[in-house]
Structures are given as C-alpha cells and as structure tokens.
Chains A and B, each alone.
Chain A
Amino acid sequence: MLAISSSTPNPASQVAAARTGDRRAWNALYEEHAPAVHAVLLTRVDPVEADDLVQDTFVRALERLDQLKEDQAFGPWVLTIARNLAHSHHRRRWRWTHLTRVLVFRPPPTAEAREALDAIRALPEAYRELMMMRLVEGMTGPEIAARTGRTPGSVRVSLHRGMKLLRAALGGSDV
C-alpha cells in the first residue's frame, strides 16, 4: 500500500491564509506549484517564454483568488490558468521587454533536449503535461497527483504509457 507522508501544509489552509494577505502562505503556494505550472507551459510554449508565463500565471491567480470555489483545488485551478494564458499568449504581441532578460538566463536547448521536448509535445494530450512534470521538473508520480488532482494510480499508469510512447517516438525499444 502506498503511503504518502508530507510536511506540506494543507493547500486549502494556505489558500485561505493567502487570501487574507499572508505572504508566507502565498510564497509557499507559489514554490509548491510553480514547477507543475512550468511543465504545463513547456508543453505549449518555448522554454524562453515559459519562465515569464509562470510569473504571469501566478499574478493572475493572485488577482482571482477570490474566484476559486474550492480551496483544495488550487493545484488544478492554477494549471487551468496557465493553459489559458499559453493559449492567449500565442495571439499576443511579442513581449520585447522580457525577451532580453530571459535570454540572459536561459541557454538554448541542446539538440538532444530539443528532440526530447518536441517528442513530449507530440504525445497525446493526456500524457504531455505529466511527462513534462516528470522528466523536466523531476516531480514524482505522487507529487504530480497531488498537484493535478488526479489519483496516484491514474498518474502511474499514464506515466508508464507516456514513457512507452515516448520511447517509440525517440526510436528506442517499446519496453
């Protein structure tokens, strides 16, 4: 039987505290959920754009925190904000004010990384984000489940299937 122990406070109580202006609670939410948000954005935008969009996502989340109906669902909710932002980002003008700063801090992907990122982006939608969370952000299956609201069993099976498809796409054996 899988037992998950966590020293992370209950997300609902963190959200409630953040609403009252508790910066420490807000920072904790940000640091806990930013990797998953980043992974979701990487499935849709280039690495150089993903960093800025992570910030934008949390700005929007903070602005709309009062609209969150179930505090426990903060994880899936903030991921939805990220997806919507990525979608509208493609229709916005290029943000020159951020470009230089991001380029300074992010080297371009190696050929191997580029191939892997492209292959992950080409996976069926249900696997793309999970595989980014696992392979780029280094999140475990249980951590992914905790951030996305999915069951650990579903994440485990999806990672397994996603990796099978990824191996085939990258030309490896379908283990």
Chain B
Amino acid sequence: MSDYLNDRTGTPDPEVQRLESALRPHRWRKRPSPVPALAIATIAMAAAASVLLAVAWGLSGPSEPGGWSSVTAACTGCTWEIGDTLDTTEGAKARIADRGSVVAAQGAVLTRLDSDTGARFRLERGTIDVEVDAPPEWLVIETPGVEVVDLGCAYTLTVDEQGKGGIIVRSGAVALVGDTRTEVLAGSAAATWDSGYTGLPVRVDAPVELVRAVDAWDSGASDDVMPLCQAAGPEDLTTLFHLLGRLERDELRAKVVDSLLELVPGEAPVDRDALIAGDESEMDELHGLLIGLW
C-alpha cells in the first residue's frame, strides 16, 4: 500500500489524484505580499517560492538487507516466508519488508500470513515489539478475538495462554478491531479479550484511580461510569470518548458527555444533545476534535 495520501510517495491513489486534478485550479496563486510599497528583491521571492519541505523515508541504524529477513536461533538472515512461524526458542527479530521490524520475545508464537494490501501476522500468544513506518492499515496483526490495525507506529503487544492480551503504544496509533473498536494513541495502553472485546484506552501514566476504574469497567466488575468520569483529566479524553461509544442509556451518556466537554480546552464545536442522542456525525466531529488535540 502506498502512502500517497500522506506524502505523495508510492503508487498514486487514483481517487486522490482525481480530486487533486479537479481542485488544482483553486490552489492559492502567488500575489505580491501585502506590505507597503517597497522594493522587493525578485530573486529573493523566487528563491522563497521554490523552497519545499523534502521528506526522506528511512529507518534508523545501519542499512540492512531489505525484504522479510529474520534473525532466530536457527538462522540469521533467512527469509520469513508466508505461512512460516518464527522460531522464538531464544527470541527472534525480523524485518517487515522495508517498513519496520518486529522483535518477538522467547516463546512467542508469531506467523506471517498472506496479505493483499501490506503485511499480516498472527500472534497466537507471547509478546512482540513492533516498529513500523507505513501508511495506516498497511500492517494488521491477528490475535485470538481481535485484530490490531497499525496506523503507523511503534508498540508492544502481548497475548497470554488464555487469549487475553494488551497493547502499549509508544508512538503513532493503533486500532484494535473486534466486536468493539479501540484507537490506542501514543502513550496509552488497552487490553484485549479473545471474546473480541477491546478495552478502553488509558494513558500509561494516568492516575491509578483511572486505571483501576478502566479495569473494573472492562472486566465487567462495575458498570458505574462515575469513577471513570471523576478520575479522568484533560489528557484522558480518548478514554472517556471510547466509554461514550459503549453506552446506550441517555442518562449515562449525559454524564460522560458533560465530563468530556468540561475537560476539552476552550469551547468545543459540538452539540451536547446530539452527542447524548448518539448522533453519528456529531460523534465523528468529536472524534476528529480529539485527534486534533492529540
């Protein structure tokens, strides 16, 4: 999958190209800068007009062979083929095409799967550490019950023997997709269950009261939203947003919406009543607002 939308690299997306072509005539056209009439060096203007940010893709560290090479107890530099499970008797490390790498802890069961659109693995159990620089959704990791959809990031993913898991995201973002959906942003963690339930995201340095409240909610030990609302601060908006997405009763939604809106800086351009009613487009507005604050 190309990253044409983000930085115009890779294979152009035809629909993006079509829109670019239709809209190009409406691009800003250079006019003299609005300053009082003074001599302006045309050479300086031409030089400034030609300055663009150059984006260079690369991975840190010395260059390594590309492709899908792996380092395991059995072999260094062997290709990790589709259908192969990494030998992790002493841990393992593998390249993910030229997009990143995965480090598997000893005993992890990690298999490379076929994919039409990028890369796909299955983590049956164990812990892996992933670092990928790729377009959103290029990398998908299946676990029992839940898919982990990479949105361009670095994270640690664990699945235990019972199929329960957790993810800690260090940079970028990840979407956990099961019966529910959780977007986990950098600096946050979330739990997963083999039933397909994806836990609420919570900051790794959130107050312990919030972490406990999230645990109690996710495990079903409590259906009281107030401990979450009371413990959440301005940096915990995505926790409350995901909670809101799981509530059906208006009185519970109202409590969470009011807590959220109190914590959002400034005046949020969203309709409180529409959010309580679960209006999809209003939820989209709020979602976009929160990503913008990230």
Contacts and interface: CB of A to CB of B under 8 A. Distances in A.
Contacts of B249: none
B30 A140 contact: no
A159 B291 CA distance: 11
B186 interface: yes
A50 to B, nearest CB: 8
Contacts of B35: 23, 26-27, 62
Given A153-B152, A160-B135, A58 B34 contact: yes
B49 A157 contact: no
Interface majority SS (helix, strand, loop, mixed), chain A: helix
B5 A137 contact: no
B55 to A, nearest CB: 5
Contacts of A6: 53-54
Contact of A109 (B26, B28, B57, B294): B26
Contacts of A126: 285, 287-289, 291-292
Contacts of B38: 23
A86 interface: no
Contact of A160 (B49, B133, B136): B136
Interface residues of A, number: 69
Interface stretch (A67-75, A89-97, A142-150): A142-150
A8 B51 contact: yes
Given A35-B28, A157-B152, A140 B55 contact: yes
B53 A140 contact: yes
Interface string A112-149: 11001100000011110000001111101111001000
Contacts of A107: 25
A117 B24 CA distance: 11
A135 B16 contact: yes
Interface of B: 5-8, 15-16, 19-20, 22-31, 33-35, 38, 40-41, 44-45, 48-49, 51-60, 133, 135-137, 151-153, 171-173, 186, 269, 281, 284-285, 287-289, 291-292, 294
